[in-house]
Amino acid sequence: MNAPVVVITGATRGIGAAAAVELARRGAEVAIVGREPGRVRATAEDARAAGGPDAVVHEHVADLLRVDEVRRLAAELLDAHPRIDVLANNAGAMFTSRRVTDDGLEETFALNHAAGFLLTELLAERLAGGRVVITASDAHSAADLDLDDLQFAKRKFSPMRVYGTSKLMNILHARELPKRHPELTAACFHPGVVRTGFGKNDGLLYKIGLTVAGPFLRSPAKGARSLVWLALDADPAQVNGTYVVDEKVATPKAAAQDDVLAEALWERTSELLSALAR
């Protein structure tokens, strides 16, 4: 039996790095995606060490804040991997001030939602029969999703609210994805509050707060358990379209169960990304 091929974004820190190493240890063929070549190389070396002499680990470098880079990455993955069994859309961050990318997208929206949405669409045919795993968060309880202002251009920018809104988008994406692409399955998960580089992108107070709280947070390895479980072990029929906490299907907040909202978000996101492709 062939080893499952797992593509994981945001794979060079925290949950992503821990998952990449564990997936390799479990015998998966792992494609590591990260922004910094040195970190991609280092994580790949750790994964190869964990997987042993037969481990197959691939390295892909891409800045997922850029739409053209997402498209280039997709083309590279399609060229390199005749089969993709799992796409783990794990890349994400919290930004403490509102900034836009060269594409004109607010950074949180661009990285946490749009990049994974676009990459999944570009790889969907190759993923047929496979799984999509999305790293969401219980922070979705703080969401304030306005379909007419997805990127907080008109409203006050609150880092946690903006981050939480992007995580609600992740859950709605996982809910709607199997309806749009019945040839694959999808699920998302809350990893817990994990000791990672999350939230340290900018903002001194956030950096200090996360450093102080560090000893009380989950380890990256524990945070990665649900990702690995969804990628390799979970029954797809039992988790398809669901939200998972600690390897169990859980009930997210009401907005995350709204099928009308999920459909509308899909349409708005597709329209926005299509406009950027023109």
Burial 259-276 (b: 16+ CB within 10 A, else e): eebbeebbeebeebbeee
- Whether 216 shows a pLDDT value over 80: the answer reads no
- Is there a contact between 93 and 113 (Cβ–Cβ < 8 Å)? no
Query: CA 196 to CA 217: how far, in whole Å?
Result: 9
- Tens digits of residue pLDDT in 140-180: 999 999 999 999 999 999 999 999 999 999 999 999 999 99
Tokens of 143: 């969401």
Residue 209 has pLDDT above 50, yes or no: no
CB-based contact 229:238 (threshold 8 Å):
no
Pairing mode of beta strands 248-250, 242-245: antiparallel
The span from the CA of 218 to the CA of 193, in Å, is 6
The pLDDT of residue 87: 99
Residue 3 has what DSSP assignment?
P
Split at pLDDT 50, 70, 90, the class of 39 is very high
**In this predicted structure, what is the pLDDT of residue 190?**
97
Sheet containing strand 86-89, strands side by side: 57-61, 29-34, 5-8, 86-89, 131-135, 185-190, 242-245, 248-250
User: Kind of pairing, strands 131-135 and 86-89?
Assistant: parallel
Q: Is it the case that residue 186 has pLDDT exceeding 90?
A: yes
Q: HEC profile for 238-263?
A: HHCCEEEECCEEECCCHHHHCHHHHH
| Nearest CA among 7, 6, 15, 9 for reference residue 193 | 15
- Residue 211, pLDDT > 90, answer no
pLDDT digits (tens, 9 = 90+) for 65-105: 999 999 999 999 999 999 999 999 999 999 999 999 999 99
- Contact present, 43 and 9 (Cβ < 8 Å): no
Catalytically annotated residues: 163
Tell me if 166 sits within 8 A of 107, measured CB to CB: no
Instruction: Return the pLDDT at 218.
Output: 73
Q: Is pLDDT above 90 for 9? A: yes
For the chain, give the mean pLDDT.
93
What's the pLDDT tens digit per position in 96-137? 999 999 999 999 999 999 999 999 999 999 999 999 999 999
Coil, strand or helix at 159: helix
pLDDT at 212: 42
Indicate the pTM of the whole model: 0.92
Q: Give the pLDDT confidence score for residue 202 in this predicted structure.
A: 53
pLDDT band at 200 (very low <50, low <70, confident <90, very high): very low
Q: Region 41-46: what's the mean pLDDT?
A: 98
Q: What is the pLDDT of residue 195?
A: 54
194 DSSP assignment? B
Closest CA to 162 of 261, 82, 79, 96: 96
Please tell me the CATH code under which domain 5-276 is placed: 3.40.50.720
- Strands 86-89, 57-61: pairing is unpaired
Q: What is the pLDDT of residue 193?
A: 82
Comparing C-alpha atoms, which of 237, 193, 241 is closest to residue 217? 193
Q: Do the beta carbons of residue 90 and residue 13 sit within 8 Å? A: no
Residues sharing a CB contact under 8 Å with residue 183, sequence separation 6 or more, in sequence order: 124, 127, 128, 129
* pLDDT higher than 60, residue 236: yes
Q: Which of 185, 96, 89 has its CA nearest to residue 137?
A: 89
What per-residue confidence (pLDDT) applies to 197?
A: 54
Per-residue pLDDT at 5 exceeds 90:
yes
